[in-house]
Amino acid sequence: MTPPPNEQAPNEPARASTERPADRLRAKLAERGATGLMAHLVAGFPNRAATIDAARAIEAAGADVLELQFPFSDPLADGPVVLQACQDALDAGTDHAAFLGMLEEITRSIRIPTVVMTYANVPFVRGFASFARELAAAGATGLIVPDLPHTEPEFAEFRAALGDAGLSYVPVVAPTSTPKTIAELAEVADTFLYVVVRLGVTGRASTIDDAVRTRLAEISAITPHPLAAGFGIQSGEQVRSLAGHARLAVVGSKIVTTIREHADAPGPAVESLVRSLVGD
């Protein structure tokens, strides 16, 4: 079911001579046996040093992918914890240049791939093509934008810009997505799909039960791409209960909360948390 690591996704022109950022992400997912971890950070929360410290701790603890959020003032899909962290990061001066600087330093100092997450207005105002080029130059491998649906005319330009920059596009699948939509999202994906396991926004705990596992199996039957399962995952037990159903578990609010509690030097606390989530 899983494409081999170096297979070109349908939307990307073949560029055999150089490794594209998306290829690194795909290779990393392919080497994963059990359910791995995508750990989420809000860039600049509470400051640059803490973000870089936490990113290093996340790698040291054995996570597979770092998801770095470019804070936006009006984050529609996020719950109170991430929302407040975004506000704090913006208040602390996390602008475009500061974000790119953090991204560059992080991707230079860790080996696991970094996927950027933000809201549509951030790349839209910058210009999709420039934004994608800047992210790729700063070492990102992919982008998640929850409020730029594949059904809007702007999406085509956005998706092409990511392809041109060699970045992966990671679509979000919701509990409300129909099989037809999932197939459409799979068509525009090139590494993995981010599956939201329950209704609502980020933060509130979810139960990983048979219904969730059945849903993941249904989605896997539609797409050959691996799945990341997220929203409300807070324990190693939850991560392990996704075994065989999702290649990655996504943990966000729990990490952000830990950083808030250890704002001065979040490294050790984040490392210990992520270690407990990874389970080895």
Partner 1 sequence: MTHASHDTDAGRFGSFGGCFVPEVLRPALEEIAEAWERYGDDADFREELAHYGRTYVGRPTPLFEATNLTEHLGGARIFVKLEGLAHTGAHKINNALGQALLAKRMGKTRVIAETGAGQHGVATATAAAALGLECEVFMGAVDARRQVPNRFWMECMGATVRQVHEGTATLKDAVNAAMRHWTERIEDTHYLLGSALGPHPYPTMVRTFQAVIGRELREQLAERGVDRPHTIVACVGGGSNAIGVFHEFVGDADVRLVGVEAGGRGTGRGDNAVRMSGDGRPGIVQAYRSLFLLDDDGQVLPTHSVSAGLDYPGIGPELAHLGTTGRIDFASATDDETLAAVRLLAQKEGILPALESAHAVAHATKLAPDLTHDDALVVNLSGRGDKDLFIMAEALDRDAWRAFLRDELARMDADDEANA
Catalytic residues: 67, 78
Site for partner 1 in 180-239 (CB under 8 A): 181, 184-185, 187-188, 196, 199-201
43 touching partner 1, by CB under 8 A: no
Size of the site for partner 1 (CB under 8 A): 52
- The pair of structure tokens assigned to 115 is 């996927």
Among 21, 139, 146, 267, binds partner 1 (CB under 8 A): 146
Please, what sign has the CA dihedral across residues 96, 80, 39, 182? Answer: negative
Whole-number minimum distance, CB 236 to partner 1, in Å?
26
* Beta carbon of residue 67, minimum distance to partner 1 (angstroms, whole number): 16
Name the nearest CA neighbour of 139 among 45, 22, 28: 22
Q: Which residue has the tokens 């959020």?
A: 69
Q: Which two tokens stand for residue 23?
A: 């290829």
Q: Which residue type does 88 have?
A: D
Contact 26, 65 (CB under 8 A): no
Q: Is 227 exposed, middle or buried (0-12, 13-18, 19+ CB in 10 A)?
A: buried
Q: Which is closer to partner 1, CB of 38 or CB of 58?
A: 38
Q: Indicate the residue among 90 and 269 with the shorter CB distance to partner 1.
A: 90
Q: Does 74 bind partner 1 (CB under 8 A)?
A: yes
Among 7, 19, 152, 209, binds partner 1 (CB under 8 A): 152
Q: Max alpha carbon distance in the chain (Å)?
A: 47
Of 18 and 151, CB closest to partner 1: 151
Our CB check for partner 1 shows the closer of 52 and 172 to be: 172
CB of 177 to partner 1, least distance (A): 6
In the bound state with partner 1, the residue whose beta carbon lies nearer, of 7 and 95, is 95
> Does residue number 8 form part of the binding site for partner 1 (CB under 8 A)?
no
257 binds partner 1 (CB under 8 A): no
Would you call 167 helix, strand, or coil by DSSP? coil
For the segment 105-134, give every residue that binds partner 1 (CB under 8 A).
120-122, 124-126
Residues whose CB is less than 8 angstroms from the CB of residue 198 and which lie 6 or more positions away in sequence, other chains included: 175, 206, 212, 231, 232
- Distance separating alpha carbons of residues 199 and 187, to the nearest angstrom: 24
Number of residues written out for the chain: 280
Inter-helix orientation angle 128-137/96-109, to 10°: 30
Which residues bind to partner 1, rule: CB under 8 A? 11, 72-80, 83-84, 87, 90, 95-96, 120-122, 124-126, 146-156, 159-160, 171-178, 181, 184-185, 187-188, 196, 199-201
